[in-house]
Amino acid sequence: MTSARKPLGSHHRIVIKIGSALLVDRKTGLKKDWLDAICDDIAALKKNGADVQVVSSGAIALGRTVLKFPAGALKLEESQAAAAVGQIALARAWSESLSKHDIVAGQILLTLSDTEERRRYLNARATINQLLKIGATPIINENDTVATTEIRYGDNDRLAARVATMTGADLLVLLSDIDGLYTAPPHLDPDARFLETIADITPEIEAMAGGAASELSRGGMRTKIDAGKIATAAGCAMIIASGKTLNPLKAIENGARSSWFAPSGTPVTARKTWIAGQLQPAGEMHVDEGAEKALHQGKSLLPAGVKLVKGNFGRGDAVAIIGAQGREIARGLAGYDADEARRINGHKSNEIEAILGYVGRSAMIHRDDLVMTGAAVKIKKAKKDEVDA
């Protein structure tokens, strides 16, 4: 059954992606009035209790206006120079506009490997979550100063979708110069039909995607559909809407036309299905009965409940959790490298600093990174017992 569309204000965690053309005019630079207006919208969402993250394009576009680069395609080194100049100006603009609402902005610059490599993924997620925890608004962009064609997203639509799944967002809003998905590019086909609700991204839906609509935008409907596939598969709804008007989020809330993509499930369910079914365990953690009971109650795995650590895994790798009966009861993403896990297993969380020399995470595996599997996987000891019997 397809989930029903909900008001923006009823979502818990929202990622808003903003296209370059909305923020930056090629001739005059930053659109300050527009930025102030969307910050009003963000403040309203936060006041209503939502966590808000912004994936903001515009660094290269803004930098090229500051550097007075001519119109047209830029060389890679020119783009990187424009990004270096523009990112400072862009971050300052966001900080100033949000500060009018007593909201602190935090800048996060990501590259492709930051969301695709498990260790860096976990570090990026931890930083973003900490910013949200203290009430700040992360302003996220691809690190265009160092990214090259081979190691970049190349558009912020897909980056925003990765951020949404990484942080457990339940809504992704893509704001650009088009108000939603049409059966064909409307600027080419006057008979193109607007689609308000997309229950599933089928091959037919993918075929409707067009190309980029302006020279300031590297993305187009193609990348938005790709973003939709990433987000909805992880249980995150997605909206494509026009950002041309002032207060575009308020406009969506008031019924402005937009396309809504239904999520395929909840973020937690989709993520945990991925952990359980897609990753091969790199090691094992054997737990006592008390820890096993706690896990079944939805709690995190603490070092005190771990009796034995096997394997040579790194932080962020998938490990199997073996229960008191010698069978796999869960899988999760390790919060520590194997050697550190061995040093702290059996100890209380408040002893971690004294053992490792730094203040580590209290959980060996956080409950958000853990899924109960109940798989009937026996370890060697269990097989030996069967032989002895």
| Binding-site annotation: residue ranges | 17, 57, 144, 156, 176-177
In one-letter notation, the amino acid at residue 226 is D
User: What tokens appear for 82 in the block?
Assistant: 């424009």
Specify binding-site residues for substrate.
57, 144, 156
Whole-number Cα distances in Å, 382 to 235, 264, 386: 38, 39, 6
For residues 73 and 215, give the distance between their C-alpha atoms in angstroms, rounded to a whole number.
8
For residues 131 and 149, give the distance between their C-alpha atoms in angstroms, rounded to a whole number.
30
Task: For residue 236, give the nearest of 140, 137, 168 by alpha carbon.
Answer: 168
Specify binding-site residues for ATP.
17, 176-177
Burial category of 101 from C-beta neighbours within 10 Å (exposed 0-12, middle 13-18, buried 19 and up): middle
Which residue, chain included where needed, has tokens 């962009």? 141
Q: Please count the other Cβ atoms lying within 10 Å of the Cβ belonging to residue 274.
A: 15
Pairing mode of beta strands 237-242, 171-176: parallel
Task: For residue 373, give the nearest of 314, 315, 323, 300 by alpha carbon.
Answer: 323
Pairing mode of beta strands 29-30, 24-25: antiparallel
> Backbone phi, then psi, for 92, in 5-degree steps?
-65, -40
Question: Rounded to 5 degrees, what angle do the CA atoms 76, 82, 86 make?
Answer: 145
